[in-house]
Amino acid sequence: MKIFLDTANYGLIELWAQTGLIDGVTTNPTHLSKESGDPVALIKKLCALLPNGHISVEVTEVAPERVYTQAKTLAALAENVVVKIPCHSDYFPIIKKLVDEEVQLNITLVFSLMQGVCMSKLGVLYISPFVGRLEDLDVDGVSLLGELSDMLDQYDYETELLAASIRHVRHIHAAIEAGVDIITVPPTVLATALNHPLTDRGMELFAADWKKLGIHTFP
C-alpha cells in the first residue's frame, strides 16, 4: 500500500519525505490557498522533491472546456503531476478525452459505487472516495471503500483506489482492511497513527532501568 500526504505544505512534506514512507502528495485548491507564494512554483518544487511520486493537483476551472485546457496545462508542469478532476457527469466526456491522450487523472469527490465503476471503466489512474465527508452525512464511508475495492478486483480494472478525506486513525485502519491501493493522510493524522503511548512508556522504562546501572558509555 502507498501512503500520500494530504497537504501542500512544503516544509512538512520535506520532513516526511526523509522518512522514506511517503509515495506522493495530494493537494487541492484549499491546501494551496493556505501556502504563500506562487502555487505553480510550489507544485514544481513538490514534483522535484518527490520525483518518483505522484503529485495530485486539482483543476480550479468549472466550465468543461476550460477544465480540459487547464488539465492539459497542469499535466505539462511535470511528468509526475496527476490532475484531479471532480466526479461530475459534465466532465465525463473530457475525462475520456484526457485518458485517451494519456493524461494521468485522479478523479476526486467520489461518493458512490456507481461513480467509481464509471470512472474505472474510463481508465483513469486513481479514484478518490471521500470517507470523512460521507460520514459527515451519517453515511458509512468505510463500507464504500470495501465495495470499491471488491469492484476493482471483480472487473480487473487497472484504476487504483485512493482513500481520501481521512480524518482519524480508525479511517486508516479501515482503509488498510478494505485493501485500498493508496491512502492520503493529513500529516497530523499520520503522526498520530505512527505513534503509540505504550511505545513511549516502554522506552521510558528501558531508559530508567539502564540508568540504574550507572554505566556512562556503551558499548
CA triple 88-9-183, angle to 5 deg: 50
Residue the block writes with cell 491522450: 101
For residue 196, report the phi and psi dihedrals to the nearest 5 degrees. Answer: -150, 135
The one catalytic residue among 2, 34, 84, 96: 84
2 is known as an active-site residue: no
C-alpha grid cell, residue 120:
474505472
Distance CA 85, CA 13 (A): 23
| 115: helix, strand or coil | helix
Question: What crossing angle do the helices spanning 64-75 and 92-100 adopt, rounded to 10°?
Answer: 30
- Residues carrying an active site annotation: 84
